[in-house]
Amino acid sequence: MSPVAAPIHDISTPDDEQHLWQARQQVAEVLAKVYWEVWTPLQGLARWPYPAGLDASIDVAFQALAYLEADEDYHATDTYWLDAQLQWLNTLIEHLKTGQPLPAAVLATYSSAMVTSPYWEQVTMLRPVIMVVKKMVATWAAFSRAVAGLLPPR
């Protein structure tokens, strides 16, 4: 697993169109690695190269990747939904690799309230803790059921 190219840190304002083109192309590279299953969606989120608010097109791409990760369990029961999400991811890749912003109609369908900054860092740091807590709860529930089965009826 090779990391994506280092982000462009000298983007001073979103008006710097040359740097935004390069940023969108780097985001397309991350999405492509997830699309072609080089990385999992979580790995793509962990390697996301840009902060929120830099560019609306980059924010939309992040949200699409976050939704793909969030719906991972749902994909096992509804392959149509997975196919639709992958088609959308491919559409984003094809558009962003040109460096151009997404069309206004696409940008309007995504809520800016869904964007966090810095993107996913807080969630990815908490994920191991959440997994341990879920296992503890499941273990406690199993233990409680086992103990309840051993106790004589009242």
**Tens-digit pLDDT profile for residues 42-76:** 999 888 888 777 888 998 999 899 989 988 888 88
Quick one: 139 and 100 in the same domain? no
Number of domains in the chain: 2
Burial class from Cβ neighbours inside 10 Å (0-12, 13-18, 19+) for residue 24 reads: buried
Q: Are residues 104 and 138 in the same domain?
A: no
81 and 138 inside one domain: no
My answer on whether 106 and 128 are in the same domain is no
Query: Residue 148: which domain range?
Result: 120-154
Considering the domain architecture, whether residues 112 and 124 belong to the same structural domain is answered as no
**Same structural domain, 47 and 111:** yes
The tokens for 144 are 């409680």
* Three-class secondary structure of residue 76 per DSSP: coil
Tens-digit pLDDT profile for residues 93-105: 999 999 999 988 8
Residues 114, 124 share a domain: no
> CA 37, 42, 44 angle in degrees (round to 5)?
65
Q: How confident is the model at residue 9 (pLDDT cuts 50, 70, 90)?
A: very low
pTM flag (> 0.85): no
CA angle at 133 for the pair 65 and 147, rounded to the nearest 5°: 140
Q: Are 83 and 148 in a shared domain?
A: no
Q: Both 64 and 124 in a single domain?
A: no
Q: Are residues 126 and 62 in the same domain?
A: no
Tokens of 112: 């800016």
Dihedral angle over CA of 67, 40, 79, 110, nearest 10: 20
